[in-house]
Structure 1
Amino acid sequence: MTEQRTDRVALPGAFHRIWAASAVSSLGDGVYYSALPLLALTLTRDSTVFGIMEAVTLLPWLLFGLIGGALVDRWDRRRTMVAVDLCRCALLVAAAVAVAAGLLDIAVLIAIGFLLGIGGVLFDTASTAYVPELLGRGTQDLHRANSRLQAAQRACGGFIGPPVGSLLFALGRTVPFVADAASFLFSSLTIRTLPATPRKAAKPKTLILKDAWAGASYLIHHRLLLGLSLRPAVGNFAFAGTGAVLALYAHETLHLGTAGYGVFLTTEAVGGLAGTLAAGWLGARLGTGGALTLTAGVEAAALLGIGGSPNAYLAGIGLAALGAAMGATMTLGPSVRQAIVPDELMGRVTAASRLTAMSAGPVGALFGGWLGHAAGLRAPFLTGAGILVLMTALAARLTSNRRIDAALAEAARTRQEPDPVATPTTTTETATTTETATEAATETATTAV
């Protein structure tokens, strides 16, 4: 628990520009994702089509995630974010023109969603890699920065954006798309004012697949990073399984109507915002490893509480607790990764981590839907709680304070800089294991690059 630091320094003004760009872009995303199904309803009533539209949101990460990470590590990250947002702006303007001209059909709408998803892969990976370039590798600063970014995304994209999108759609079918395009234009212009990063040294040209594999190999050989990726993968399996039956569970077991279900879902968003804001505080007092173990236990208890609740009020409390634990986890885990991954591999390791975390979701959804049909609607929640208990043990072992401190110290030595936040507190065996794994992964990555 040696990560705590007392010299609290204000985040630089450049970060506040990233923060503003993220908030406005998230607001536009909330508007778009609220208006998209409303527009689709004017084109089709086929539920299968809506299922395809939902699946398309995952395909860019599954098909393009590793390649996107390799490209981000080859390109200037600030320029990548600017170019991607300008392309997304142009794409949405074209969509608005097509809607106004009556030329938009469901196939084109799905294609637009897929292209926007590819843009999201590149932008999210580049922004995650750019933040430690701007702030340095101190975990406390990264906790604070990621907490604010996550809070802005949840508040603007989850609370404000969807109702605004519905309102704008009522004013005109093209209005939400123009508004989202304007948010991307604002984001690109704001990011363009950020400090330029040092030009990367030219490297021998290699196959893009080799570059992508270097990031995946580094992740696989680094036990801490692998643990930080397996944690959300296991969690997403359980969460997707419960999400598959949540609407039915709320309607048939908790006896919630349409309005009540909307309020029920809002409790998770409220909890998520609170957890995001509290993540840095938890990390400073318990250590990042201790905080991650705590949030894993809270997630397990929350699913158990939701699945065993006799009424909607207790289930809502459980859902809020689940959102809080998830919000804190999504802030703490990436901060550690940003602090220890070498800059030249940051985009690829980030993409490999996201791909690992997301890949279990579709399988979990299928399993949860089958289990709810076979054993009752409470079964996915109770089974998910059991899975998350195992995840708590995994977090305690693979992402402990001792292991995180050792990785931070090793990363600082590798960069030949003073260790900003931690001194090694591991046993000789643990430190040696971590160092050996890191050296092996670095050698593999260097050979591949």
Structure 2
Amino acid sequence: MSAKLPRAFGRLWAASAVSTVGDGVIFAAAPLLAVGISGDPVMISLVTFAVMLPWPLCGLFCGALVDRWDRRRTMWIADLARAVVLGFAVVAGVSGVLGIPALMVVAFLLGLAQVFFDTAAQAYLPMLLGRDQPSLRRANSWLRGAQTVGEGFLGPPVGSALFALGRMVPFAADAVSFVLSAVLIRTLPPAPPADEARSPLWTAAREGARYLVRDRLLLGLALRPAVGNLAFAAVSAVMVLYARDALHLSAAGYGVLLATEAVGGLLGAILAGPLERLLGTGGALTATAAIEAAAVLGMGLAPTALVAGAAYAVCGCGMAATMVLGPSVRQAIVPERLLGRVVAASRLVAVSAGPVGALLGGWLAGAAGVRAPYVAGAAVLATMTIVTASMTSNRKVEAALAAASAAGAPVGLSPGR
């Protein structure tokens, strides 16, 4: 870890690492539990829908509240809330009363807590680091790397193994991970509310959305992951069919294919900094967008599983680098009092595109074959690369950083702690 990052960031990173391993555990265990409760694919899909529902339903309001609350307190309370919800789920599961409706409620509450946590975490980081963009990029690289390892490598096999011991054991383990994360976050420097205004919540939420839409750079930074989610949800929706019918992979081979994306994601988190220094932030964002488009096309046209796996790794690399570079710029240029709301609005745009992409992917696969969503997704990504290249150019990024610096960035939160 860079010596320039404060010691407090080490505790934030450790909290993230612990909780993302728990997320990976649930990523593997939750589908197994849902299938064990009900074999109806519609009912099972409702659980996924429930965990995504809080973003479009109340994401903007959560962002407004995050700006009015202590962001550190918001994070550790959200973690404790998730631990409590999982604890109730464990008790219900052991008692034999955890059906799909109850699981949907659990999923919704976990999703709601995640909205608060993720928004507060992205808004807290620039307060901790003094809104220094190179430091933010390094910090986001470390956080993204921890997320990739926890959710992509460690968590899923641990979750499957724990599920074999007992179907509620993984959920108990995830609850413990959230408690540990909350304890670590509780030791961080407090963050006083950034927005002291007491306007109606809806008015405050709209202010953040308007700020995003009216800023061409921020809008470009939001559109990139939104279109990416549209394309990646389309291909992910048919990935298992693509692996079976086009690549002729077994279940074990399908698991290996999925792991290649995590390998690329870890590499992308590491390479984000060197790529930024080589091409500039705007140039690097355009390059990663083009890489993602080419990689998705490569998957769609891959003649063998080996080629498909290599393309998926490259895609993961581009996605991870994008998710390091884009948020780092946003965290550095958005006024502190609006950051929670702008983060929430950006995430809302990105998350809302996912379900649409999944539906389109399924329709395309049924109409034109399992490779069609990959070709269409690549075309969408390539088009968006061209559209957003001028919106997120080096010139615009440098001008925005200079304007934020001239406006006077906050000093930060006791970096020595």
The TM-score, its normalising length taken from structure 2, stands at 0.95
1:191 matched to 2:185? The reply is: yes
SS in structure 1 at match of 2:43: helix
Q: What's the counterpart of residue 427 of structure 1?
A: none
Contact 1:306 1:318 in 2 (8 A): yes
Query: In 2, Cα distance between the equivalents of 1:56 and 1:176?
Result: 20
SS in structure 1 at match of 2:37: coil
For 1:347-399, what per-residue CA distance to the aligned partner results, in whole angstroms no more than 9, with x for missing partners?
A: 00000000111222222221222122212222221122111111221232110
Equivalent residues, number:
410
After superposition, the CA RMSD in angstroms is 1.5
Q: What's the counterpart of residue 13 of structure 2?
A: 19
1:312 matched to 2:305? The reply is: yes
Query: In 2, Cα distance between the equivalents of 1:188 and 1:279?
Result: 29
Instruction: Give the letter aligned to residue 281 of structure 1.
Output: P
Instruction: Give the letter aligned to residue 375 of structure 2.
Output: L
Q: What's the counterpart of residue 38 of structure 1?
A: 32
1:352 matched to 2:339? The reply is: no
For 1:296-354, what per-residue CA distance to the aligned partner results, in whole angstroms no more than 9, with x for missing partners?
A: 11111111111111111111111111010001001100000000000000100000000
1:323 matched to 2:320? The reply is: no
Which shifted more, 214-223 or 78-87? 78-87
Q: What's the counterpart of residue 171 of structure 1?
A: 165
Q: What's the counterpart of residue 388 of structure 2?
A: 395
Contact 1:154 1:273 in 2 (8 A): yes
Structure 1 residues 200 and 59 mapped into 2: Cα distance closer, same or farther (>3 Å)?
closer
Q: What's the counterpart of residue 97 of structure 2?
A: 103
Contact 2:8 2:188 in 1 (8 A): yes
Query: In 2, Cα distance between the equivalents of 1:340 and 1:77?
Result: 18
Query: How far did residue 202 of structure 1 move?
Result: 3.9
1:88 matched to 2:116? The reply is: no
Match of 1:376 among 360, 365, 369: 369
SS in structure 2 at match of 1:206: coil
Which shifted more, 188-197 or 336-345? 188-197
Q: What's the counterpart of residue 411 of structure 1?
A: 404
Which shifted more, 209-218 or 368-377? 368-377
Query: In 1, Cα distance between the equivalents of 2:194 and 2:376?
Result: 48
Structure 2: state its 5+ residue gaps: 412-417
| Correspondence list, 1:262-273, <5 A | 262-273=255-266
Contact 2:195 2:338 in 1 (8 A): no
Q: What's the counterpart of residue 126 of structure 1?
A: 120
Match of 2:155 among 149, 153, 161: 161
Instruction: Give the letter aligned to residue 163 of structure 1.
Output: P
Query: How far did residue 198 of structure 1 move?
Result: 4.0
Q: What's the counterpart of residue 329 of structure 2?
A: 336
Q: Which has the larger radius of gyration?
A: 1
Query: How far did residue 217 of structure 1 move?
Result: 0.4
Match of 1:72 among 63, 66, 75: 66
Instruction: Give the letter aligned to residue 350 of structure 2.
Output: A
Q: What's the counterpart of residue 432 of structure 1?
A: none
Structure 1 residues 215 and 378 mapped into 2: Cα distance closer, same or farther (>3 Å)?
same
1:142 matched to 2:136? The reply is: yes
For 1:11-52, what per-residue CA distance to the aligned partner results, in whole angstroms no more than 9, with x for missing partners?
A: 111000000000001111111222222222332111111111
Query: How far did residue 417 of structure 1 move?
Result: 8.0
Query: In 2, Cα distance between the equivalents of 1:410 and 1:369?
Result: 45
Query: In 2, Cα distance between the equivalents of 1:144 and 1:33?
Result: 27
Query: In 2, Cα distance between the equivalents of 1:95 and 1:359?
Result: 27
1:386 matched to 2:376? The reply is: no
Which shifted more, 397-406 or 28-37? 28-37
Match of 2:50 among 22, 47, 56: 56
Q: What's the counterpart of residue 415 of structure 2?
A: none
Structure 1: state its 5+ residue gaps: 1-7, 419-449
Contact 1:273 1:327 in 2 (8 A): yes
Identity in percent: 57
SS in structure 2 at match of 1:41: helix
Structure 1 residues 146 and 201 mapped into 2: Cα distance closer, same or farther (>3 Å)?
closer
The TM-score, its normalising length taken from structure 1, stands at 0.88
| Correspondence list, 1:205-354, <5 A | 205-354=198-347
Query: In 2, Cα distance between the equivalents of 1:61 and 1:362?
Result: 12
